[in-house]
Chains A and B, each alone.
Chain A
Amino acid sequence: ETGVTQTPRHLVMGMTNKKSLKCEQHLGHNAMYWYKQSAKKPLELMFVYSLEERVENNSVPSRFSPECPNSSHLFLHLHTLQPEDSALYLCASSQVARMNTEAFFGQGTRLTVV
């Protein structure tokens, strides 16, 4: 148990569906992240939130929409996804948005777009 919980663990959705991924941390951290993990590719940083404000958006398509209502929760809203968006989506948190501190990762949501 790392202190970062992601739900659901698995998700299958059609290209016209709308779904949301949820991430929750009870570590008292102030920064939260979404990463995409695809086979044979490096982890891709998608979004960074620090103190509930988005500080980084790495040219992610608008069909991915993050939301950070408070420092403990992070969502990734999905709509009109493509099959190539199928991947493992990892949430992480850290004390501050400085990567010389340890990042704690959730177990991920395995997303399949059909």
Chain B
Amino acid sequence: AQSVTQLDSQVPVFEEAPVELRCNYSSSVSVYLFWYVQYPNQGLQLLLKYLSGSTLVKGINGFEAEFNKSQTSFHLRKPSVHISDTAEYFCAVSEGDTDKLIFGTGTRLQVFP
């Protein structure tokens, strides 16, 4: 069965510093991988997704993620964060051609001035 692990429930970081939010998944078949962001009192918004092709995926707001099949990881990175990046970030996986999107527990990114 699929599962998604986000090891860090909270990540505090100073503005303009780099950040990495970790995501690991378990699946025995090919997967699609997603990162969603949830700003306070908002719904989820897609940041980026990996379906196939290049393992380095670029998304909105300067975020990128790298799919590593051998390590079953899809970590999210940004070289320089801004105060406005403060939000909850969710990693999600979908197995093949199904209608299920399995989410991790989320990582709260808190950016300090």
Contacts and interface: CB of A to CB of B under 8 A. Distances in A.
Interface of A: 2, 4, 6, 31, 40-43, 45, 48, 50, 55-56, 90, 92, 97-100, 102-108
B99 A2 contact: no
B28 interface: no
A103 to B, nearest CB: 6
What band does the interface of chain B fall in when counting residues whose beta carbon is under 8 Å from A? 20 to 34
Interface in B56-113: 90, 94, 97-106
Contact of A102 (B4, B43, B49, B104): B49
17 contacts: A40-B105, A42-B105, A42-B106, A43-B44, A55-B99, A56-B100, A90-B44, A97-B99, A98-B97, A98-B99, A99-B94, A99-B99, A103-B46, A105-B45, A107-B42, A108-B42, A108-B43
Given A98-B97, A100-B51, 4 more contacts: A42-B105, A99-B101, A104-B46, A105-B36
Nearest to B51: A100
Contacts of A103: 44, 46, 101
Contact of B99 (A6, A42, A48): A48
A63 B49 CA distance: 35
Contact of A99 (B32, B41, B42): B32
List the 5 closest A-B pairs by CB distance, nearest first.
A105-B43, A99-B94, A43-B103, A105-B44, A97-B99
Contacts of B43: 2, 4, 6, 90, 92, 105-108
A45 B103 CA distance: 9
Nearest to B103: A43
A8 B94 CA distance: 30
